[in-house]
Chain A
Amino acid sequence: MSTQTILPIDRQSVVELSRSKQEPEWMTALRTEALELAGSLELPSLTKTPIERWNLKFDGGYKAALPVDQPDRLPEKVRNLLDDAIHPENVLVHYNSGVVYNSLSPELSAKGVVFTDLETALREHPELVKKYFMTCINKEENLVTALHAALWSGGVFLYVPKNVDVDAPIQALFYADDPTTRFVPHVLIVADDNSSVTFAEHYVSGDMDGGMVLNGIVEVIVKSGASVHFATTHHFQPSVTDLTYRRAHVENDGRIHWLIGEMNLGNSMSETTSKLIGNGASSNMKVISVGTGEQMMNITTKAVHIGKATESEMTTRAVMRDQATAIINGITKIEKGATGSNGEQAEKVLMLSPRARGDANPILLIDEDDVKAGHAASVGQVSEEHIYYLMSRGISREQATKLIIYGFLAPVVAEIPISRMQEQLQALVERKLGQ
């Protein structure tokens, strides 16, 4: 596929934009290299998912953000979302191509926590960004990652210093409503040794004429003994195509806990990978999704065990309605040398419609003997036996079905660390289930 057909972006405009933002030379060079690579790379190849047939318009232009210093100066629709979902302190708002609002409590600032948009971080903490940017994912991986590296803007940089425990959750809202602009946010989180932090992000689209693509990458570096809770919900309308990569590198005794709500209405692809590099590192991944309409989803969870005594747990639960399709992959990879490791995964799909499709593909790639690994994959319908049991207590069939479906997703929703976000996810689930 020729890049000319999907991206009328030229090298010169990339260089000019980078320089106008006063980016360091290494970043400008990274962008141009990536753009050049994009010319010869292919789209990611996804099992049973014809991504090349999706609406992949990568031609959005860059539109400078108009930052505001008070949340009530934000555009109304954004402000409403903020009130609904997010506490005004320790929050960042990325709107279309750039970040328009960012605040951090003075207490956290005093402890050395850095929470800014990535463009600002590049100017104010260039060494930190350079050390970690695009280390969890290679720009050469495929066309999408290359384009991301070339065109990213706005985004998040969160750095938590050694031994600092951040109690209040740090939150970000990513909102898009202009299909003429590009939506390429990059989230870079570094939790230094023995620190802990909870980060919650929310992706939403507003009414728009036409479609656009989210080309998003999240990198989380969990250093020795650190602990990160990462919660995210995606809720885009049908005309938005969601391509998201989430990658974490976890060092000795580090822990990462992912909580992911894939609630889009359009086509989406996401891959969430934890690389357990240090001994004793662990990862817990929980994903829920509700498929509706004619959307196609490809959801991958992956854990790579490199260090000894590393642990991973991945759970994906999807409810499929209408003619939606979900290809759900769970990949547990245990490299040679990762002795004493344990990798568990479970993919469960609940089918509510005979025309929907849910594939659960568990994959174990194990190159070490002294390990434990397990998987469970199931695709099924609501059990008539369970419906009967609930109805036998006087609960109507409709109510019984509802209880069972919510119950199917409940174990994951219940784990969301922020109660407002939990309520919001529950509301999204209800809306997608047509209640």
Chain B
Amino acid sequence: MSNSPKFIIDGLQATVEGKQILQGVNLEINGGEVHAIMGPNGTGKSTLASAIMGHPKYEVTGGTITLDGENILEMEVDERARAGLFLAMQYPSEITGVTNADFLRSALNARRGEGNEISLIKFIRQLEAKMKELEIDTAFAHRYLNEGFSGGEKKRNEILQMMMLEPKIAILDEIDSGLDIDALRIVADAVNSMRSEQRGFLIITHYQRLLNYIKPDFVHVMMQGRIVKSGGPELAERLENEGYDWVKEELGIVDERVGQEPEDFAVPMNTISPRKLS
């Protein structure tokens, strides 16, 4: 098995609540690469991240996703994670009664498999080292998962989890939202420190600012549920300076959004009607 992961999305189509959001996304991420996806609100960026991870609300209606040749779409959410996928969420859940440390240790042990669990001491040492790097107060380990965390603290907690779990493909969904300039630098440093041949990154962002700190290898623009333009880092700069209108003109797009604009806070609902969830 090659050490450098190969992640291929081919013609991905997905709906949410019956509405078609992803209209055929094609993307290939190899180990050692950092891809950025930019685009205005409502173009399907977050849907892409959720569909890749397997969020029950999103239904894949066409296309394939493979990681090192294995079909991701046939796996349960936890299997996808153990196969090496990681999603730093835009709105991480707050789960009372489960401490950050217990949660991370469970996740780490799930990854390592039965009989190969990490020793408590080793875990604590690793955890504290990474928490220091991210300038997270070590007391947070014993707080309940994300409970009472500010938006910025939740984002740093997502990155902490990424650092502990060492995924093959890491997707960061708007990791920069809610971060001040100092926190942004800390997060960017952490992400950059994890760049390697054994890892690919997909960074979904609204603002170009993050990409000043995490230099992408490839930049893609998403509109109407599809990747419509790809380029190198200079594409991000041009978007920063000129906005998206020139892209729309170039491609003859009038409204870049998909169907209805997805609500900003649709995701973190705690009660879901009793539909059969996969």
Q: Which residues of A contact B277 (CB under 8 A)?
A: 384
Q: Is the CB of A393 within 8 A of B103?
A: yes
- Cross-chain contact A389 with B144 (CB below 8 angstroms): no
Docked-complex contact B87 and A392, CB < 8 angstroms:
yes
Residue of B nearest to A393 (CB): B107
- Contact (Cβ within 8 A) B78 A394: yes
| B270–A380 CB distance below 8 A | yes
Main secondary structure of the interface of B (DSSP, over half): mixed
- Contact A389:B95 (CB < 8 A) given known A380-B270, A384-B56: yes
Contact B97 A409 (CB under 8 A): yes
Q: Does B237 contact A (CB under 8 A)?
A: no
Q: How many residues of B contact A (CB 8 A)?
A: 36
Assembled-state Cα–Cα distance A404/B98 (Å): 7
Interface size of A in residues (CB-CB distance below 8 Å): 26
Q: Is B55 at the interface (CB under 8 A from chain A)?
A: yes
- Can you name the residue of chain A whose Cβ is closest to the Cβ of B93? A389
Q: Which of B54, B55, B165, B269 contacts A394 (CB 8 A)?
A: B165
Contact at A396–B110, with CB atoms within 8 Å? yes
Q: Please tell me which one of the listed residues A385, A397, A406 contacts residue B269 in the complex, with CB atoms under 8 A apart.
A: A385
Q: How far is the CA of A411 from the CA of B99 in the complex (A)?
A: 11
CB neighbours (8 Å) of B95 from chain A are: 386, 389-390, 403-404, 407
Interface check B89, CB cutoff 8 A: yes
The CA-CA distance from A390 to B55 in the complex, in Å, is 12
Inter-chain contact A389/B97, CB cutoff 8 Å: no
Q: Produce 1/0 per residue, A401-429, CB < 8 A to B.
A: 00110111111000000000000000000
Q: Contacts of A397 on B, CB cut-off 8 Å?
A: 76, 78
Is A388 close to B, CB under 8 A? yes
The contact string, 1 if C-beta is below 8 Å from chain A, for chain B 79-108, is 011100011010011011110001110110
Task: Decide if the interface of chain A is mainly helix, strand, loop or mixed.
Answer: helix
Give complex CA distance A13, B144 in Å: 57
* CB-based contact B161/A393 at 8 Å: yes
Cross-chain contact A399 with B272 (CB below 8 angstroms): no
Known contacts A390-B95, A406-B97, A407-B95; is A395 also within 8 Å of B270 by CB? no
User: In the complex the two chains form, what is the Cα distance from A294 to B62 in whole Å?
Assistant: 46
| Minimum Cβ distance to chain B for residue A317 (Å) | 9
Is the pair A403, B93 in contact by a Cβ cutoff of 8 Å?
A: no
Does any Cβ of B come within 8 Å of A364's Cβ? Answer: no
Q: Give Cα distance in the complex from A89 to B235, angstroms.
A: 76
Residue-wise, chain A 188-200 has the 8 Å CB interface mask toward B (1 for contact) of 0000000000000
Query: Does A391 interact with chain B (Cβ within 8 Å)?
Result: yes
Which residues of chain A have C-beta atoms less than 8 A from B124's C-beta? Answer: none
**Partner pick for A385 among B93, B111, B144, CB 8 A cutoff:** B93
| Complex contacts, B54 vs chain A, CB 8 Å | 388, 392
A396 touches B78 (CB 8 A): yes
Determine if B111 and A394 form an interchain contact, defined as CB atoms under 8 angstroms apart: yes
**Is B268 interfacial (CB 8 A cutoff)?**
yes
How far does the alpha carbon of A384 sit from the alpha carbon of B268 in the complex, in Å? 10
Whole-angstrom CA separation of A395 from B113 in the bound complex: 11
| Besides A395-B78, A410-B97, 14 other A-B contacts (C-beta < 8 A) | A380-B271, A385-B93, A388-B56, A391-B76, A391-B78, A392-B53, A392-B78, A393-B81, A393-B86, A393-B107, A394-B81, A394-B110, A394-B111, A397-B78
Instruction: Provide a sorted-by-A list of 20 A–B residue pairs whose CB atoms are within 8 angstroms.
Output: A380-B270, A381-B271, A384-B277, A385-B93, A386-B270, A388-B56, A391-B76, A391-B81, A392-B86, A392-B89, A394-B82, A394-B110, A395-B103, A399-B110, A400-B78, A403-B106, A406-B97, A407-B97, A407-B144, A410-B97
